[in-house]
Homo-oligomer: A and B are copies of this chain.
Amino acid sequence: MVSHTSQFTHSVKPVPAEAVQAYDHETDVLVVGFGCAGAAVALEASGAGAAVTILERASGPGGSSALSGGEIYLGGGTPVQAACGFTDTARDMAAYLIGALGPDADEEKIHVYSEHSLEHFGWLAGQGVPFKESLWDSPTWVPPTDDGLMWMGEAAWPYNQQAAPAARGHRVQSEGFGGKVLMDRLVEAVSTRTDAEVHADTRALRLIVDEQGRACGVIARRFGTDYAYRARRGVVLTTGGFVDNEAMLAEHAPELVGSAKVSDSGDDGLGIVMAQAAGAAVRRMSTGQVGIQTIPGYMTRGIVVNGHGQRFINEDVYPGLVGIEALYRQGMNVWVVLDEEAFEDVPEEERWGLQPTHVAETVAELEKEMGLPENALQHTVAEYNRHAENAEDPWFRKSARWLRPLRAPFAAIDVRLGMAPPEGGSAGGNGAAVFTLGGLVTDTDGRVHDLDGGPIAGLYAAGRASSGLHGGGYISGTSLGPGTFFGRRAGLAAAGSATAGAEATGVQE
């Protein structure tokens, strides 16, 4: 048994306000963390007339958001969708998300997010976030172009039965990963449009809670010295998830232990835990997003099998859903099997350097090299090919677009070996790269709820510190999108939550 907080050098318990001798700093809305959610909080809270201070543990803004692909899941008929020829509705968007983020997705949050998606697109564009009006129409994790729209598995079965397919993966204009551009624009907006103070190198350690249980500030550490911050209207936690906290992973999401971490290395869960210590509830702590070290273009053109040579999913779903199946239900003993034609069909620049780990002239030979039971892969490929001749896949219903019999020579990619560095060797790990989806229970205004099911006065959260739209599934764009959207709502709620006497200065008792 390990402690959640064994990596923290302090107690996570809230400090009673009456124990605070004097505050070092006062503001209306105190934002903890300057990733995309924190920026959205600051912009909206400031726009609503609140004084805002942002604490960021790193030396500058960005967080994990700045390292991300820059996908933002939006729909309902955005200008980008319209320019690319898609008609869309909030209803279809919500139906797809309920399916793809499920089972057990948060339907209330999904409906609110989908209904306001067009408006949120406008808000992002209004902050200077660029979206090019062009479609990237090929399966990939991140396109090598600056196209502004991509599919996120909307055309795949069974989701295409639940909602009219439309591409909704909006991409911040960028060649490659767009998170940096997104954060540059949001940071610039905060800088030019608000009076928000940013205190970098400042790590919030504990909440300050008054006698009525209201969150009224934090204790934060900067270069070894602790400072007391007072928040007259609210504290908003946008501190990210907990993938960098090994003890928390082991306690709550042990499946994620041992995978590579998708983060800026600061996702230590402290924001979640300090809120819990003040009575906050958490949910879905075992869930995670799982990227696997293979190429969606190979998967869709070939097949994906487990350690018994069995297919287990239609390979044209959003690749993150293949990853979740692979890690949570197949233990990462997962392979991509393809043929030469499929390999050649993926353009060089979309291969990310990934080469097959095994090649063979016959499936029998390949099966043996892969260490699978005899007849396992042979049967799977024979059945796949027999139906692919007719553009059918009665086993898993992959779209006819990707169905074609596989022919010699054959190749396999052991996903656990991942994308080897150019100089050779393996990327290490189990072939998966993950981040956490569980977190604080919030309502659609970002209010953090306690174990009685009601809001904790003065306490808000957004982004990966909170549990968002997700049940068991994940689609790219549902972190930055809802993170900024519910961040905005948390900012507005916090700005408007002034209590009597909140404008008074001085030490609160």
Give A residues with C-beta under 8 Å from B. Answer: 1-6, 11-13, 103-104, 106, 108-109, 250-252, 254, 257, 273, 276-277, 279, 281, 283-286, 308, 310-312, 328-329, 373-376, 379, 383, 394-396, 441-443, 449-454, 471-472
Contact = CB atoms under 8 A, between A and B. Distances in A.
Nearest to A284: B251
B452 A1 contact: no
Given A279-B277, A286-B285, A395-B376, A472 B254 contact: yes
A436 to B, nearest CB: 13
Contact of A109 (B1, B250, B283): B1
Nearest to A443: B1
Nearest to A14: B279
Contacts of A451: 4-5, 12-13, 273, 276-277
Given A1-B449, A252-B285, A308-B396, 18 more contacts: A1-B441, A2-B453, A4-B453, A5-B451, A12-B452, A13-B452, A251-B283, A251-B284, A252-B283, A252-B284, A254-B284, A277-B279, A277-B452, A285-B285, A308-B311, A329-B329, A376-B383, A379-B383
24 contacts: A1-B106, A1-B108, A1-B449, A2-B453, A3-B453, A5-B452, A13-B279, A13-B450, A13-B452, A103-B254, A104-B254, A251-B441, A252-B283, A252-B284, A273-B451, A276-B451, A277-B450, A285-B285, A308-B310, A308-B311, A308-B395, A308-B396, A373-B395, A376-B395
A106 B383 CA distance: 43
Which 7 A-B residue pairs are closest in the complex by CB-CB distance?
A: A3-B453, A104-B254, A286-B286, A251-B283, A329-B329, A379-B379, A373-B395
A10 to B, nearest CB: 9
Nearest to A250: B104
Contacts of A308: 310-312, 395-396
B373 A3 contact: no
Nearest to A3: B453
A438 to B, nearest CB: 9
Contacts of A396: 308
A249 to B, nearest CB: 10
Nearest to A472: B254
Nearest to A374: B394
Contacts of A12: 451-452
Contacts of A285: 252, 285-286
A285 B281 CA distance: 13
Contacts of A250: 104
Contacts of A441: 1, 251
Nearest to A386: B375
A311 B308 CA distance: 9
A462 B326 CA distance: 35
A106 B222 CA distance: 37
A496 to B, nearest CB: 21
Contacts of A284: 251-252, 254
Contacts of A276: 451
Nearest to A8: B452
A164 B2 CA distance: 29
Contacts of A3: 449, 452-454
Contacts of A108: 1
Nearest to A12: B451
Nearest to A274: B451
A125 B488 CA distance: 63
Contacts of A329: 328-329
A336 to B, nearest CB: 18
A129 B442 CA distance: 48
A443 B2 CA distance: 10
Contacts of A442: 1
Contacts of A312: 308
A443 B1 CA distance: 7
A312 B307 CA distance: 10
Contacts of A472: 254
